[in-house]
Structure 1
């Protein structure tokens, strides 16, 4: 009877055995650890997403604004007459496929070359790759220019309207000065992109786009150049963009005999 009375629970005895209490505490710790790990993973994903947006957002804006230069010029030409609008639209499509897209594709090779050099901390190679790419793209602008000279003849061979083809050929010829700064600009963009310096690019491109609108109005209507002025405005805007990006680069770059070395990253 005494043993049975001692085995009965009293007010101070635990409701569950000690072994079960230990298992519950262990399970609670595991659950807490899982919650902490889950919060850490979500925090890492959020931080990585923020970094990607910071890098990709300005690049998207830069690409859209660069492409908008040609669209704005065609919009101003549309206020002249239907013939000018038709010829400029055809010439813009032709030059984009045969020239600007070609330069864009060749310039994108710097993403791999400069990315490897930057990852290996061979910063002097960044400038060397950029300078070589600039030289190659400038040389490639020569055969592209020759093709653009015969734009009108190519359209006529394809059976297009003679008058529209003639005006399209004239517009394409006035676009020739824009192919060279466009190639240089693509090299500059890839050079700074690999160093995560994209916000200054966005600022310069935005300013250039605003200036381009003023240039189009001045050359198309102010000086009366018509569609020729719209094409010339594209070349001037691209050169302004090149100069602006070069000034940004020179603020933290040192020119040496073997190339450009980023002082910020050394």
Structure 2
């Protein structure tokens, strides 16, 4: 990972820390995969309560745990990765326990069998396009990174990059929520043999995505001269944020469409 980041033009010291963080974050990926499946399972049944409850409990633990690992034990980035992994596993275990023992899941609870292997092909038919959608999201982030690499100094590069990525990341949750809601509504309607209603949901989600993207992009363009002041008082940083605002607006528009489309599944 470190060599790959250096090859892409990253600072060697940053590449070394990022590589260590990525390696220690690998155990968290397995928990995250199970967690996402559990979230879809609960959403498909309208069981919302266990998810915010579990997330709230994990958040209360994550804050002191992350502080202890990063600062008290001096693990730095490795501590941050470990705390993320431990909390993801804890969240997964809580939801699995709820699934196993709660009476609300009694009728939908199933046991593992070899039949799951018969559905692997269908799973990949949906998984591969979804993975491409996620790649498009991160590639849009990387485009900002490459362009920020053209800035005259590393300090300015880091500041402007942080502002752009923070803005994009915060905005992403809005279209992502629309896509998630549309995904579950479409799945329920198709399961109830209502393809026409599912088609209406698709169009409604796309209209919301385009409308939201136009509004946010327009606001950012109109406020490009002052947006940098939200994060920094450095005039040089503010001016470069102003220059990157049109590209950032385009990125936000693309992210809105991608986030909603990633939640829409079309079936013949």
TM-score after normalising by structure 2: 0.48
RCO higher in structure (CA 8 A, sep ≥6): 1
- Name which one, 1 or 2, has greater alpha-carbon Rg: 1
TM-score after normalising by structure 1: 0.48
